[in-house]
């Protein structure tokens, strides 16, 4: 079976042009088929401020009303996505910039209102891995912005970590998949202020212990939930690492490697 590396890049790397260039150079050097999912960094917030559109965050998640959806679509699907594609072209990677709406690759539904109304935020329903595999067979490298679409024809803002996990899970139909989450830290840390405190291996049992102790908290929790979901649904390997250590993580296991040792189930409904 062919191998595929799915990488999600986010955090402060998107906002730092030098760090982003280093990452993309490493990404370009990875052999074989690869696919990139990116976040938007702080650029959407900065653009919204210039346009006089307020940004509302609840528990670290953006509330996406219609004006903010317009901003994130322009920034994520336009400015950031096309800048990354252009930089990859300069590195001789034939990249194709996409959102989930393009070629119907990632279908979502608007998140139902419970305790919080997140607005135009999408929860993923289906990934069309057959269509993505078609692009890979054309020697194209898909670069996904975290925007999806609904059957009602709406665009939806979607968490990039979740999007990377969902795509990786569905691509298991066609490939032996490795999923990397890359950002500005060296992995999952016992002490967020100390880059030497990397947890080299993490199992669901250890994850539960670290959460209970407050060692793993805040934004790392949904990232790890997505990562373990991917492992539970057939992804061969999941690594969380520094953006500067992508090649080392793939070849030698830098960062935090997740291992699935207890029984988990669930996942996304997918299409071929």
Measure the CA–CA gap between 185 and 241, rounded to whole angstroms: 7
Residue pair 234/172 in contact by the 8 Å Cβ criterion:
yes
In the numeric block, which tokens belong to residue 85?
């594609």
Residue pair 33/136 in contact by the 8 Å Cβ criterion:
yes
| Nearest CA among 5, 1, 2 for reference residue 26 | 5
Which residues contribute to the annotated binding site? 40-41, 62, 157
In the numeric block, which tokens belong to residue 262?
């207890």
Beta bridge partners of 95: 141
Q: Which helix (H) or strand (E) holds 33?
A: strand 33-38
Which residues contribute to the annotated binding site for substrate? 40-41, 62, 157
Give the number of other Cβ atoms within 10 Å of residue 126's Cβ.
19
Measure the CA–CA gap between 73 and 57, rounded to whole angstroms: 17
| H-type alpha helices, the chain | 17-29, 43-50, 66-72, 81-90, 129-137, 160-171, 204-212, 220-232, 246-252
């Amino acid at each position: 079976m062919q191998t595929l590396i799915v990488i999600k890049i986010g955090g402060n790397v998107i906002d730092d042009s030098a760090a982003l260039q280093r990452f993309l150079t490493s990404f370009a050097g990875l052999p074989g088929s690869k696919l990139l999912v990116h976040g938007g960094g702080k650029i959407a917030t900065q653009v919204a401020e210039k346009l006089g559109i307020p940004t509302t965050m609840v528990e670290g998640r953006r509330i996406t009303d219609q004006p903010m959806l317009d901003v994130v679509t322009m920034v994520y699907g336009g400015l950031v996505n096309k800048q990354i594609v252009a930089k990859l072209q300069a590195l001789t990677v034939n990249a194709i910039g996409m959102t989930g709406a393009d070629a119907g690759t990632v279908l979502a539904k608007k998140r139902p209102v419970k305790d919080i109304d997140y607005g135009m935020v999408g929860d993923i329903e289906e990934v069309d891995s057959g269509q993505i595999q078609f692009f890979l067979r054309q020697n194209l490298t898909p670069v996904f912005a975290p925007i999806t679409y609904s059957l009602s024809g709406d665009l939806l803002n979607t968490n990039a970590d979740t999007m990377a996990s969902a795509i990786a899970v569905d691509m298991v139909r066609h490939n032996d998949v490795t999923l990397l989450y890359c950002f500005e830290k060296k992995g999952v840390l016992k002490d967020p202020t100390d880059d030497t405190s990397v947890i080299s291996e993490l199992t669901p049992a250890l994850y539960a212990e670290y959460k209970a102790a407050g060692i793993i908290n805040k934004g790392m929790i949904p990232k790890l939930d997505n990562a373990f979901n991917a492992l539970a649904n057939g992804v061969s390997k999941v690594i969380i690492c520094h953006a500067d250590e992508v090649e080392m993580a793939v070849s030698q296991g830098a960062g935090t490697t997740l291992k699935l040792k207890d029984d988990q189930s669930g996942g996304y409904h997918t299409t071929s």
